[in-house]
Amino acid sequence: QQPVQSPQAVILREGEDAVINCSSSKALYSVHWYRQKHGEAPVFLMILLKGGEQKGHDKISASFNEKKQQSSLYLTASQLSYSGTYFCGTGGSQGNLIFGKGTKLSVKP
C-alpha cells in the first residue's frame, strides 16, 4: 500500500527548518527518500533500515520509528537548493519500492 506523506506542500524562507513525514499502514523494513527537482530525475537522499542503520546525505537527517511505522525527514537551515519534491518509498527487499505522492518544498530567499 502507498505510504502517506505530509504535508503535501511547504514554503520556507532560507535558513528555516522543515519536517516531512512518511507513514505506512504496513510494517516497515526500510524507508527510502528521494528528491526530485522540476523537470529532472529523482535523486537518492537516504535509506533508513529497521534496526537503526542509515545511509545518506550529510546535511539532511531522518528518523525511522518502527512501532509507529513512520519516518521523518529533517531539513535544517534550508537552502535554495533544497527546493523540490521529496518522495518516500517503502517496500520490497529488492528495491521494488512503493512511493508516496510526494511533498513539494519551496525555499524562498
Partner 1 sequence: NAGVTQTPKFRILKIGQSMTLQCTQDMNHNYMYWYRQDPGMGLKLIYYSVGAGITDKGEVPNGYNVSRSTTEDFPLRLELAAPSQTSVYFCASGETSGIFYNEQFFGPGTRLTVL
For the bound state, the minimum distance from the C-beta of residue 5 to partner 1, rounded and expressed in Å, comes to: 9
Q: In terms of CB distance, is 16 or 98 closer to partner 1?
A: 98
Footprint of partner 1 (CB under 8 A): 2, 29-30, 32, 34, 40-44, 47, 49-50, 55, 87, 89, 93-102
Sheet-wide strand order for 60-65: 4-6, 18-23, 70-75, 60-65
Task: Answer whether the bond into residue 3 is a cis peptide, omega within 30°.
Answer: no
Q: In terms of CB distance, is 72 or 90 closer to partner 1?
A: 90
Q: In terms of CB distance, is 5 or 72 closer to partner 1?
A: 5
Instruction: Give residue 15's region: left, alpha or beta (phi > 0; psi -120 to 50).
Output: left
